[in-house]
Amino acid sequence: MTKIPDSAFAPPQIITGKARLAGVLGWPVSHSRSPALHNYWLRRYRIDGAYVPLPVRPEQFEAAVRGLQAAGFRGANVTIPHKEAACALADRLDPSAQRAGAVNTLVFEEEGRIRGLSTDGGGFVASLEADDLPVPASGKALLLGAGGAARSVAAALQDRGVQVSVTNRTQARAESLAAVLPGLEVVPWEAWEAGLGVYDLLVNTTSLGMEGGPDPMFRPSLKAASRALVVADIVYVPRLTPLLAEAEQHGLKTLGGLGMLLHQARLGFREWFGQDPVVDAETEATVRATF
């Protein structure tokens, strides 16, 4: 059983009229552990502020973002299904977001400007390295999904020399992603399971397998996988997704989505609250205690 750190029960920071505010926009958003993570860091560093979950329907996304700006928020994280809409809404994109064509972090600047960042890819690679599972530069990776997270993860892996392929239930979306990331190979959805033997890394970047998602029992066959395949899932609720359970049954190394959550969050926290937080054992234990 995970020991809950004493700091997890520290009283919340006093919130004054000068509090710095941020949150996470998604639909759904009830699964997100970002509020637990950011509010833990706010207590740890004794910062006057708060971070809140913000359930927002896709058709209300822009209105919600403008409302947060007007209310004095410093910015927000963006999760499924808003990452590409956030990219279109931003007035300025950091290089990571330009490369990925998607945004997961919004920073509200002076005079109503919005800056968009993509920290998913860097956070994913950092989580691989933290678990001692780096993909060799000559390796091959297959990504399930072609949304905002897939764009960021694919770009980050390509930047490290990995050969990246993508598959998506709607092939046109996969082809659209390949059009903006040269060198990306598209694999038909119906063919990817049979072709797993050539890959070093499999990453589920979709909400398939997520608690409350479109298919929480998503459990594809991994019979054709190489014994060296690492199976990663960016879903972190539940901690052991059906895909990861299937991988464990085949004796494959696995990586859950919690590490990516922790590492991708650092840049946004620094932008909104002015402190570069540490991802350590206490941070992980605090968030794990919420499952």
- Residues with catalytic roles: 83
Q: Cα 185 vs. chain centroid, distance in angstroms?
A: 22
Longest Cα pair distance anywhere in the chain, in angstroms?
Answer: 58
CA pair distance 122, 141, nearest whole angstrom? 16
Segment holding 26, helix H or strand E: strand 20-26
What letter would DSSP give residue 114?
A: E
Contact 24, 53 (CB under 8 A): yes
- What are the angstrom distances between the C-alpha of 97 and each of 17, 31, 92, 146, 186? 32, 24, 9, 15, 21
269's CB contacts (< 8 A; 6+ apart) are 38, 41, 275, 276, 277
212's CB contacts (< 8 A; 6+ apart) are 28, 30, 31, 237
Segment holding 185, helix H or strand E: strand 185-186
Ordered strands of the 20-26 beta sheet: 49-55, 20-26, 75-78, 105-108, 114-117, 92-93
Half-sphere exposure at residue 53, Cβ-oriented, CA atoms within 13 angstroms = 13
Helices (H), 182-278: 242-249, 258-273
Token pair 């050969």: residue? 163
